[in-house]
Structure 1
Amino acid sequence: MTRTPSLARQILVAAVLLLAVVAIAAGGSLATAGFVDGWYADAEKVPWNPPNAVFGPVWSVLYLMIAISGFVLWRWVARDGRRWDPALTVYVVQLALNAAWTPIFFAGYSVMGEAAWWVALVVILVLIVCVIWYMGLCATRIKAAGWLLAPYLVWILYASTLNAGIVALN
């Protein structure tokens, strides 16, 4: 038996998910402030490192897709009459890892030095595993939720090479 959550509940959950990704984006922006033009500007980067202006628009689209993916999965779980699902746990974990990476990588450098880049690399690699795990769980639940994160997975795979490049070249 499927039960569609009330419109009010759907709006509330959608708003919470959007606010969560906006908070992560804002935290990331605050964490990079002062560092993009500081140590990061002076760091040796891989040749495929994009201009700084690319990151904001890409992340804006990805964060929207991340929020929609979480909503699609949550709605599927709620329609099934359940309150929670293991895929939602993995979704929340990947959000937390996403939120942690930018402050560790950028702001962490002033606290830990180059060790911050290594810690950030471990975080992004675990994030990649979580996103793949989430997508795999969604494949047996509601495929659209998983596929919505495919561009995100590609981007964080790419971003991990940028992080590894900073580690290797500096």
Structure 2
Amino acid sequence: MKIAVSSIKPFTPSRNFCYLVRVDKAQGWWIEYIVDISPLSPHLYCLFTERYDLRFVRQNFFMVSFYSLDALLGGKHLYEPEPRMRYSKDELQEMLLKGIGEAIAIFIQEHAPCVLIALPARPGLARIYDRLLNAQAMYSGYRYITHYKEDGIYVIEKR
């Protein structure tokens, strides 16, 4: 399986940072994912103001999402699994860590966000984000914040 990650311009005018992850399998199957990292939406600030100052949240929190390019362009639900790739468990883990994880790592290296969060849309994504952000925290000098995990929010912050 071959995985390539590249930075791309957002599809709409925004302050988002986008990355394209292309996965090619030996059978000739391929898919492209968008990793979208955006400033935290104002309606989510209240989730963090108990622990952080509102101004800090507004200026330093980013949220990561990923979805297939086909879902984005084809009007499908963004967060549904993509069955056509038929990932084995090992292939799925490889795609997540080398593809989505690499996009997150590039963002961290280039922009050094103070806090990066993920809010999964379904339980399967929760396990994925837990694994991804935990790995990123270990390799990038960030700290994995478990305080929010019980609420289904996955957070890493700069040490």
Fold conserved between structures, TM > 0.5:
no
Bin of the TM-score, shorter chain as denominator length: under 0.3
Structure with the bigger RCO (C-alpha within 8 Å, sep 6+) is: 1
Q: Which structure: greater helix fraction? A: 1
Structure with larger Rg: 1
Q: Which structure: greater strand fraction? A: 2
TM-score (norm 1): 0.26
